[in-house]
Amino acid sequence: MNATELAPFKDLIRTRCGLLLEGVGEEPLVIAIRKRMAETGATSATGYFAKMAGHEDEFQEFVTLLTINETYFFREPDQLSLLMDRLIPRLLADETGRLPIRILSAGCSTGEEPYSIAIALLEKYGDAATRMVQIVGGDIDHHALAKARAGRYTAFSFRSLAPELRQRYFHPSGRDGMVIDDRVKAMVSFHHLNLLAEHFPPPLSDLDVVFFRNVSIYFDEATRKAIQQTFERSMTERGHLVIGSAETLANDLGVFRLVQDDGAFYFRRGQPEPPPRPVVHSFPTPVAMAPRPPLPTVAAPPPTVVPPRPGLKLDEIRALIRDKRFDRIDLLLGARNRLPPADPALLALEGYARMLARDFAAAAELGKRALAADEWSVDALVLLGLAAKWQGAAADAIGWFKKVLYVRRECWPAHYYLADLHRSAGAAEAAQRCYRAALQYLAEQPDPDGGLVLPLGLPVSEVRFLCERHTGAIQSARR
């Protein structure tokens, strides 16, 4: 099938459902066209296009072949904890608010996400949860919705669910399946939803919380913004938007206000806040920094191994950062990290924790101190790049990430961040080169932390998908 035949399919799917089918998306498109041509008896792609574009049922059938339905129970459990431990208690305490609290899982696929919310609520509030909260799931894929309504799952969906919860809320069904308990099923209703529609159907209105996770990666920025505006119109005044953690930054588009709540990020209705004020530290002012010797321009750096300070284990601090236990990190590092000898890895880790807590000035300061202690510290350079990127200083961020690559060529996160910065600046060719390098080094070392001490924890398969998608989009824009 040639590009001219595929073009009208791509345009129609992008305009009506937002899905981008360039690059790696082309293969499933071709497979879908061939499949539906065979099943409907169409003899040419052009003939099938006319049939599909003019008949809603056929259009819906075609779309189900293009959606990616990957999901499982208790995916990204930190965000379920955010809902249970902060958002719901606050909504319950809100005197102006009404009950039940209404939650939408937007792009719910086969139902694991909304059912996980229902299970977490039953665990916390028992039967009272059924009166306190209403959960609705919406998806464009009606086959996925049928599976969600049936509530029957196999082992693949349970990969992240605690065995005791599986026992409590599922019953064996058939040879290899489990069906969800009626109590959970009764808490969730499913509805057909096209996120690109200007207004959502009435059962999907008056929302207090929207879970929109692992869906926005398939849309371009203008589409993501339009969808957020529809979420806003469908929400109550106290609306909250929870987006997958890897997608949150790309969704800070000025429609909702980005909130950081003890290390967790989500959005609230209302305009974005001005940049955060510098935070007053509880620890002593850093000692004066030694001027940093310039980076040499030729020879490759010797590997520097700095032993961690006795009593402070790097892995322990990394685990605390992953769990967002900032209070504990302060206690462990804080003033102790100001004592000589300066340990670049610990300084960078503390800086990274500061950055996650959105204290960018402190993060940059600690990054510079780490660099003063070890001018080859890749962690310090990545930290400085990230702190600059988060503060919108794109040119500085590019400078830091380039230095990272000078010191460690195979650091794939640096290639990836650089690619995004170049793409935002409209430097398509540079972006494409960097996405390709990220893919190459990622294949060699698929470590979510990119081999760094900083626990970046990047979602490897999503990064790979985004690199391929952007490379494909840049390629076809050039044709």
> How many residues at the interface with ligand SAM, by CB under 6 A?
25
Query: Helices (H), strands (E): how many in the chain?
Result: 21, 10
Stretch that binds ligand SAM, among 45-53, 160-168, 194-202, 260-268 (CB under 6 A): 194-202
Residue 208 binding ligand SAM, by CB under 6 A: no
Residue placing its CB nearer to ligand SAM in the complex, 63 or 405: 63
The single residue listed with the structure tokens 């001219």 is 4
- Cα–Cα distances in Å, from 99 out to 94, 96, 134, 275? 10, 10, 9, 34
The single residue listed with the structure tokens 């961690």 is 308
Residue 70 binding ligand SAM, by CB under 6 A: yes
Residue 247 binding ligand SAM, by CB under 6 A: no
Stretch that binds ligand SAM, among 89-97, 187-195, 360-368, 415-423 (CB under 6 A): 187-195
Helix, strand, coil percentages for the chain (3-state, nearest 5): 55, 10, 35
Going by their DSSP bridges, the two strands 177-180 and 188-192 should be labelled as: unpaired
Residue 228 binding ligand SAM, by CB under 6 A: no
Residue 458 binding ligand SAM, by CB under 6 A: no
Asked if residue 294 has a cis previous peptide bond (ω within 30° of 0), the answer is no
Q: What is the C-alpha to C-alpha distance for residues 388 and 360, in angstroms, rounded to an integer?
A: 8
Q: Answer whether 372's CB lies under 8 Å from 292's CB.
A: yes
Residue 251 binding ligand SAM, by CB under 6 A: no
Residue 137 binding ligand SAM, by CB under 6 A: no
Pick the binder of ligand SAM from 17, 42, 332, 474 (CB under 6 A): 17
φ and ψ at residue 352, rounded to 5 degrees: -65, -40
Residue 432 binding ligand SAM, by CB under 6 A: no
Taking residues 28 to 67 in sequence order and writing x for each that binds ligand SAM by CB under 6 A, - otherwise, the string is ---------------------------------------x
Residue 193 binding ligand SAM, by CB under 6 A: yes
- Cα–Cα distances in Å, from 200 out to 98, 205, 230? 21, 7, 8
CA atoms within 13 A on the CB side of 306: 22
- Cα–Cα distances in Å, from 219 out to 61, 196, 235, 473? 20, 10, 21, 12
| Binding to ligand SAM, residues 82-111 (CB under 6 A) | 107-109
Pick the binder of ligand SAM from 40, 60, 69, 304 (CB under 6 A): 69
Residue 141 binding ligand SAM, by CB under 6 A: yes
Q: What is the C-alpha to C-alpha distance for residues 75 and 448, in angstroms, rounded to an integer?
A: 17
Residue placing its CB nearer to ligand SAM in the complex, 144 or 264: 144
Residue placing its CB nearer to ligand SAM in the complex, 60 or 69: 69
Residue placing its CB nearer to ligand SAM in the complex, 74 or 400: 74
8-state DSSP, 55: -
Q: What angle do CA 17, 23, 26 make, to 5 degrees?
A: 60
Pick the binder of ligand SAM from 102, 147, 213, 240 (CB under 6 A): 213
Residue 157 binding ligand SAM, by CB under 6 A: no
Residue 19 binding ligand SAM, by CB under 6 A: yes
Nearest Cα neighbor of 422 from 386, 450, 395, 456 is 395
Taking residues 325 to 364 in sequence order and writing x for each that binds ligand SAM by CB under 6 A, - otherwise, the string is ----------------------------------------
Binding site for ligand SAM (CB under 6 A): 17-19, 67-71, 75, 107-109, 113, 139-141, 144, 193-196, 213-215, 218
